[in-house]
Chain A
Amino acid sequence: MVQFTISGHDFELDQDRVEHAVDRLLPDPVREHYVVVSGRRYPPKQVISCATGLDRADFTTHQARRVLKRLGFQAARVTHEQDPSEASAGGPHGGRQAAALAPFVDKWVALASPTDVIVAADTPQEVLGWLARHNRRASYGMFRVPASLHEAEGLAPQ
Protein backbone atom coordinates (compact mmCIF):
# COMPACT_ATOMS: atom_id res chain seq x y z
CA MET A 1 0.00 0.00 0.00
CA VAL A 2 1.30 3.43 -0.97
CA GLN A 3 0.14 6.64 0.65
CA PHE A 4 0.44 9.91 -1.21
CA THR A 5 -1.02 13.38 -1.46
CA ILE A 6 -2.07 15.02 -4.71
CA SER A 7 -3.73 18.38 -5.02
CA GLY A 8 -4.39 18.47 -1.29
CA HIS A 9 -6.09 15.08 -1.19
CA ASP A 10 -4.69 12.04 0.61
CA PHE A 11 -4.88 8.63 -1.04
CA GLU A 12 -3.93 5.05 -0.36
CA LEU A 13 -3.51 2.71 -3.30
CA ASP A 14 -2.02 -0.67 -4.05
CA GLN A 15 -1.36 -2.47 -7.33
CA ASP A 16 -4.57 -4.49 -7.21
CA ARG A 17 -6.77 -1.43 -6.80
CA VAL A 18 -5.08 0.31 -9.70
CA GLU A 19 -5.37 -2.74 -11.92
CA HIS A 20 -9.02 -3.13 -10.97
CA ALA A 21 -9.70 0.56 -11.66
CA VAL A 22 -8.43 0.35 -15.23
CA ASP A 23 -9.67 -3.17 -15.88
CA ARG A 24 -12.26 -2.11 -18.48
CA LEU A 25 -10.57 1.14 -19.46
CA LEU A 26 -9.11 1.46 -22.94
CA PRO A 27 -5.82 3.35 -22.92
CA ASP A 28 -5.78 6.87 -24.32
CA PRO A 29 -3.13 7.59 -26.94
CA VAL A 30 0.36 7.64 -25.45
CA ARG A 31 2.26 10.73 -26.47
CA GLU A 32 5.49 10.52 -24.49
CA HIS A 33 5.24 8.85 -21.09
CA TYR A 34 3.44 5.63 -20.33
CA VAL A 35 2.99 3.12 -17.55
CA VAL A 36 2.32 -0.58 -18.04
CA VAL A 37 -0.76 -1.85 -16.20
CA SER A 38 -2.02 -5.39 -16.82
CA GLY A 39 0.12 -5.60 -19.94
CA ARG A 40 -1.22 -2.41 -21.51
CA ARG A 41 0.39 1.00 -21.92
CA TYR A 42 -1.53 3.89 -20.43
CA PRO A 43 -0.73 7.58 -20.06
CA PRO A 44 0.17 7.90 -16.34
CA LYS A 45 -2.33 10.69 -15.77
CA GLN A 46 -5.15 8.56 -17.14
CA VAL A 47 -4.39 5.81 -14.62
CA ILE A 48 -4.13 8.11 -11.61
CA SER A 49 -7.24 10.01 -12.64
CA CYS A 50 -9.18 6.77 -12.95
CA ALA A 51 -7.87 5.32 -9.69
CA THR A 52 -8.41 8.47 -7.60
CA GLY A 53 -11.25 10.27 -9.31
CA LEU A 54 -9.14 13.41 -9.61
CA ASP A 55 -9.34 15.62 -12.65
CA ARG A 56 -6.26 15.28 -14.83
CA ALA A 57 -5.71 19.02 -14.61
CA ASP A 58 -5.13 18.66 -10.86
CA PHE A 59 -1.74 16.96 -11.15
CA THR A 60 1.22 16.53 -13.45
CA THR A 61 2.52 13.59 -15.43
CA HIS A 62 5.59 13.63 -13.20
CA GLN A 63 3.45 13.20 -10.07
CA ALA A 64 1.48 10.39 -11.67
CA ARG A 65 4.62 8.56 -12.80
CA ARG A 66 6.20 8.87 -9.38
CA VAL A 67 3.19 7.37 -7.61
CA LEU A 68 2.83 4.55 -10.13
CA LYS A 69 6.51 3.68 -9.94
CA ARG A 70 6.25 3.53 -6.14
CA LEU A 71 3.36 1.11 -6.64
CA GLY A 72 5.67 -1.08 -8.70
CA PHE A 73 4.44 -0.37 -12.21
CA GLN A 74 6.87 -0.04 -15.07
CA ALA A 75 7.03 3.54 -16.31
CA ALA A 76 8.83 4.48 -19.49
CA ARG A 77 9.01 6.90 -22.34
CA VAL A 78 8.08 6.22 -25.94
CA THR A 79 11.06 5.73 -28.18
CA HIS A 80 11.04 5.35 -31.93
CA GLU A 81 14.62 4.14 -32.12
CA GLN A 82 15.06 0.71 -33.61
CA ASP A 83 17.31 -1.91 -32.17
CA PRO A 84 19.85 -2.66 -34.94
CA SER A 85 19.87 -6.35 -34.00
CA GLU A 86 16.12 -6.51 -34.61
CA ALA A 87 16.39 -4.74 -37.93
CA SER A 88 18.76 -7.37 -39.19
CA ALA A 89 16.43 -10.26 -38.36
CA GLY A 90 14.52 -12.03 -41.16
CA GLY A 91 11.49 -10.43 -42.75
CA PRO A 92 10.42 -6.79 -42.75
CA HIS A 93 9.37 -6.98 -39.12
CA GLY A 94 11.84 -9.64 -38.07
CA GLY A 95 9.35 -11.24 -35.70
CA ARG A 96 8.93 -7.94 -33.83
CA GLN A 97 5.28 -7.72 -34.81
CA ALA A 98 4.53 -11.15 -33.43
CA ALA A 99 6.26 -10.14 -30.19
CA ALA A 100 4.33 -6.86 -30.03
CA LEU A 101 1.04 -8.70 -30.54
CA ALA A 102 1.80 -11.50 -28.06
CA PRO A 103 0.19 -9.76 -25.03
CA PHE A 104 -3.01 -9.22 -27.01
CA VAL A 105 -3.88 -12.71 -28.19
CA ASP A 106 -7.62 -13.01 -28.85
CA LYS A 107 -8.07 -9.24 -28.45
CA TRP A 108 -9.02 -6.80 -31.18
CA VAL A 109 -6.22 -4.38 -31.90
CA ALA A 110 -5.54 -1.36 -34.07
CA LEU A 111 -2.01 -0.77 -35.29
CA ALA A 112 -0.44 2.53 -36.31
CA SER A 113 2.67 0.72 -37.52
CA PRO A 114 3.72 -2.95 -37.64
CA THR A 115 4.64 -2.93 -33.96
CA ASP A 116 2.66 0.01 -32.55
CA VAL A 117 -0.55 -1.26 -30.93
CA ILE A 118 -2.53 1.90 -30.28
CA VAL A 119 -5.55 0.22 -28.72
CA ALA A 120 -6.66 -3.25 -27.73
CA ALA A 121 -10.15 -4.31 -26.69
CA ASP A 122 -12.50 -7.27 -26.47
CA THR A 123 -14.69 -6.26 -29.41
CA PRO A 124 -14.17 -4.54 -32.78
CA GLN A 125 -16.87 -2.04 -31.83
CA GLU A 126 -14.82 -0.88 -28.83
CA VAL A 127 -11.74 -0.42 -31.01
CA LEU A 128 -13.65 1.50 -33.68
CA GLY A 129 -15.27 3.68 -31.03
CA TRP A 130 -11.89 4.45 -29.51
CA LEU A 131 -10.42 5.36 -32.90
CA ALA A 132 -13.31 7.70 -33.60
CA ARG A 133 -13.18 9.34 -30.15
CA HIS A 134 -9.46 9.98 -30.37
CA ASN A 135 -9.40 10.82 -34.06
CA ARG A 136 -6.80 8.12 -34.69
CA ARG A 137 -6.32 5.85 -37.68
CA ALA A 138 -5.23 2.23 -37.65
CA SER A 139 -2.88 2.80 -40.56
CA TYR A 140 -1.53 -0.71 -40.29
CA GLY A 141 -4.83 -2.44 -39.90
CA MET A 142 -7.28 -3.65 -37.33
CA PHE A 143 -7.90 -7.29 -36.54
CA ARG A 144 -8.27 -9.91 -33.85
CA VAL A 145 -4.86 -11.17 -32.80
CA PRO A 146 -4.62 -14.80 -33.84
CA ALA A 147 -4.64 -17.32 -31.04
CA SER A 148 -2.75 -19.92 -33.03
CA LEU A 149 -0.50 -20.34 -36.03
CA HIS A 150 -3.47 -21.74 -37.91
CA GLU A 151 -5.40 -18.54 -37.35
CA ALA A 152 -2.39 -16.47 -38.32
CA GLU A 153 -1.70 -18.28 -41.56
CA GLY A 154 -4.75 -20.35 -42.38
CA LEU A 155 -4.04 -23.64 -44.04
CA ALA A 156 -2.57 -22.16 -47.21
CA PRO A 157 0.39 -24.04 -48.70
CA GLN A 158 3.70 -22.92 -47.23
Chain B
Amino acid sequence: MRFEFLELPGETSALLRPVVPVQVEDLEDAPQLCLVDTGATANRFGMWLAEATGIDLSGAPESSLVVGGVTTTARHTRVDLTVAGVRYDAPVTFCDPWPFAFNLLGQEGFLRFFRLTVCAAESWLELEAEG
Protein backbone atom coordinates (compact mmCIF):
# COMPACT_ATOMS: atom_id res chain seq x y z
CA MET B 1 0.00 0.00 0.00
CA ARG B 2 1.37 3.39 -0.97
CA PHE B 3 1.32 6.49 1.24
CA GLU B 4 2.17 9.97 0.04
CA PHE B 5 4.54 11.98 2.21
CA LEU B 6 2.78 14.67 4.26
CA GLU B 7 3.56 17.68 6.36
CA LEU B 8 3.45 17.05 10.08
CA PRO B 9 0.50 18.74 11.77
CA GLY B 10 1.20 22.37 12.48
CA GLU B 11 4.35 22.47 10.42
CA THR B 12 4.69 25.76 8.63
CA SER B 13 7.42 24.68 6.25
CA ALA B 14 6.70 22.78 3.07
CA LEU B 15 8.85 19.88 4.25
CA LEU B 16 7.22 16.53 3.56
CA ARG B 17 7.71 13.49 5.80
CA PRO B 18 7.12 9.77 5.56
CA VAL B 19 3.99 9.28 7.66
CA VAL B 20 1.51 6.44 7.99
CA PRO B 21 -1.93 6.36 9.65
CA VAL B 22 -2.12 3.77 12.43
CA GLN B 23 -5.11 2.47 14.32
CA VAL B 24 -4.37 1.71 17.97
CA GLU B 25 -6.42 -1.20 19.35
CA ASP B 26 -10.05 -0.51 18.37
CA LEU B 27 -9.79 3.25 18.14
CA GLU B 28 -11.29 3.34 14.65
CA ASP B 29 -12.61 6.89 14.99
CA ALA B 30 -9.18 8.43 15.36
CA PRO B 31 -6.33 6.91 13.38
CA GLN B 32 -2.96 8.23 14.47
CA LEU B 33 -0.53 10.00 12.22
CA CYS B 34 2.84 8.30 12.70
CA LEU B 35 6.24 9.34 11.46
CA VAL B 36 8.29 6.46 10.09
CA ASP B 37 11.62 6.73 11.89
CA THR B 38 14.12 4.14 10.67
CA GLY B 39 16.52 5.29 13.36
CA ALA B 40 14.10 4.61 16.21
CA THR B 41 14.48 1.30 17.96
CA ALA B 42 10.79 1.05 18.90
CA ASN B 43 7.34 2.58 18.47
CA ARG B 44 6.82 5.64 20.67
CA PHE B 45 3.26 6.86 21.25
CA GLY B 46 1.69 9.47 23.48
CA MET B 47 0.46 8.16 26.82
CA TRP B 48 -3.03 9.57 26.20
CA LEU B 49 -3.57 6.79 23.64
CA ALA B 50 -3.12 4.12 26.30
CA GLU B 51 -5.65 5.87 28.51
CA ALA B 52 -8.09 6.41 25.61
CA THR B 53 -8.01 2.76 24.60
CA GLY B 54 -8.06 1.30 28.09
CA ILE B 55 -4.63 -0.28 27.94
CA ASP B 56 -3.57 -1.40 31.40
CA LEU B 57 -0.05 -0.19 32.07
CA SER B 58 0.06 -1.24 35.71
CA GLY B 59 3.15 -3.34 36.14
CA ALA B 60 4.50 -2.34 32.74
CA PRO B 61 8.26 -1.81 32.67
CA GLU B 62 9.17 1.84 32.96
CA SER B 63 12.19 3.81 31.85
CA SER B 64 13.28 7.33 31.03
CA LEU B 65 13.88 8.29 27.40
CA VAL B 66 14.84 11.35 25.43
CA VAL B 67 12.72 11.63 22.28
CA GLY B 68 12.98 14.60 19.97
CA GLY B 69 14.80 16.53 22.65
CA VAL B 70 12.15 15.82 25.29
CA THR B 71 12.88 13.76 28.39
CA THR B 72 9.89 11.52 28.94
CA THR B 73 8.76 8.61 31.10
CA ALA B 74 8.17 5.54 28.96
CA ARG B 75 5.97 2.52 29.75
CA HIS B 76 6.55 -0.56 27.62
CA THR B 77 3.77 -2.96 26.63
CA ARG B 78 2.18 -4.77 23.68
CA VAL B 79 -0.92 -3.59 21.85
CA ASP B 80 -2.80 -4.31 18.64
CA LEU B 81 -1.92 -1.95 15.82
CA THR B 82 -3.55 -1.80 12.40
CA VAL B 83 -1.34 -0.51 9.61
CA ALA B 84 -2.16 -0.69 5.91
CA GLY B 85 -5.08 -2.96 6.70
CA VAL B 86 -2.94 -5.40 8.69
CA ARG B 87 -3.70 -5.89 12.38
CA TYR B 88 -0.90 -7.27 14.50
CA ASP B 89 0.39 -7.46 18.04
CA ALA B 90 3.20 -4.94 18.46
CA PRO B 91 5.49 -3.71 21.20
CA VAL B 92 4.76 -0.04 21.92
CA THR B 93 6.24 2.46 24.32
CA PHE B 94 3.76 4.97 25.71
CA CYS B 95 5.38 8.21 26.76
CA ASP B 96 4.44 11.04 29.09
CA PRO B 97 5.00 13.88 28.46
CA TRP B 98 4.53 13.62 24.73
CA PRO B 99 4.20 17.12 23.28
CA PHE B 100 4.27 16.05 19.65
CA ALA B 101 1.26 15.90 17.32
CA PHE B 102 2.62 12.71 15.78
CA ASN B 103 3.80 9.34 17.04
CA LEU B 104 6.86 7.38 15.99
CA LEU B 105 7.12 4.04 14.22
CA GLY B 106 10.46 2.30 14.72
CA GLN B 107 12.19 -1.01 14.18
CA GLU B 108 10.58 -3.21 16.83
CA GLY B 109 6.85 -3.03 16.37
CA PHE B 110 6.85 -1.73 12.81
CA LEU B 111 9.82 -2.29 10.52
CA ARG B 112 10.09 -5.93 11.57
CA PHE B 113 6.52 -6.44 10.36
CA PHE B 114 6.61 -4.57 7.04
CA ARG B 115 8.88 -4.32 4.04
CA LEU B 116 9.33 -0.64 3.42
CA THR B 117 10.11 1.07 0.12
CA VAL B 118 10.81 4.78 0.33
CA CYS B 119 11.01 7.11 -2.65
CA ALA B 120 11.82 10.52 -1.21
CA ALA B 121 12.43 11.87 -4.69
CA GLU B 122 8.74 11.42 -5.44
CA SER B 123 7.57 11.77 -1.82
CA TRP B 124 5.96 8.40 -1.21
CA LEU B 125 6.50 5.16 0.67
CA GLU B 126 5.09 1.70 0.18
CA LEU B 127 4.40 -0.95 2.79
CA GLU B 128 4.15 -4.66 2.27
CA ALA B 129 3.49 -6.98 5.16
CA GLU B 130 6.31 -9.43 5.80
CA GLY B 131 5.27 -13.00 5.12
A-B contact count (CB 8 A): 107
B127 CB, nearest partner CB in chain A, Å? 18
A88 CB, nearest partner CB in chain B, Å? 12
Most chain B beta-carbon neighbours within 10 Å: one of A89, A149, A156: A156
Q: How many chain B residues touch A (Cβ–Cβ < 8 Å)?
A: 33
Whether A127 is near chain B, meaning CB under 8 Å from some CB there, is yes
- Is A143 a contact of B4 with CB atoms below 8 Å? no
Whether A78 is near chain B, meaning CB under 8 Å from some CB there, is no
Instruction: List, in ascending order, chain A residues with CB within 8 A of B52's CB.
Output: 124-125, 128
- Is B9 a contact of A152 with CB atoms below 8 Å? yes
- Is A145 a contact of B29 with CB atoms below 8 Å? no
Whether A36 is near chain B, meaning CB under 8 Å from some CB there, is no
Q: Which 4 A-B pairs have the closest CB atoms?
A: A154-B68, A90-B14, A91-B14, A155-B69
Q: Which residue of B lies closest to A135 (CB)?
A: B29
Pull 23 A–B residue pairs with CB atoms less than 8 Å apart, ordered by A. Answer: A90-B14, A91-B15, A93-B7, A94-B14, A97-B7, A97-B11, A110-B30, A125-B51, A128-B30, A132-B29, A137-B29, A141-B31, A141-B33, A142-B32, A143-B9, A143-B102, A144-B101, A146-B9, A146-B99, A149-B11, A150-B69, A151-B100, A152-B12
- Is B67 a contact of A97 with CB atoms below 8 Å? no
Q: Which residue of B lies closest to A110 (CB)?
A: B30
Whether A138 is near chain B, meaning CB under 8 Å from some CB there, is yes
Most chain A beta-carbon neighbours within 10 Å: one of B5, B68, B101: B101
Q: Which residue of A lies closest to B69 (CB)?
A: A155
- With A141-B21, A143-B102, A150-B69 already in contact, the answer to whether A131 and B12 are too (CB < 8 A) is no
Q: Which residue of B lies closest to A150 (CB)?
A: B69
B85 CB, nearest partner CB in chain A, Å? 15
Whether A103 is near chain B, meaning CB under 8 Å from some CB there, is no
Instruction: List, in ascending order, chain A residues with CB within 8 A of B11's CB.
Output: 97-98, 149, 152-153
A20 CB, nearest partner CB in chain B, Å? 29
Instruction: List, in ascending order, chain B residues with CB within 8 A of A132's CB.
Output: 29
- Is A149 a contact of B68 with CB atoms below 8 Å? no
- Supply 14 further A-B pairs (C-beta < 8 A) apart from A89-B14, A155-B69: A97-B11, A110-B29, A124-B52, A138-B30, A139-B31, A141-B21, A142-B32, A145-B9, A147-B99, A149-B12, A150-B68, A152-B8, A154-B68, A158-B15
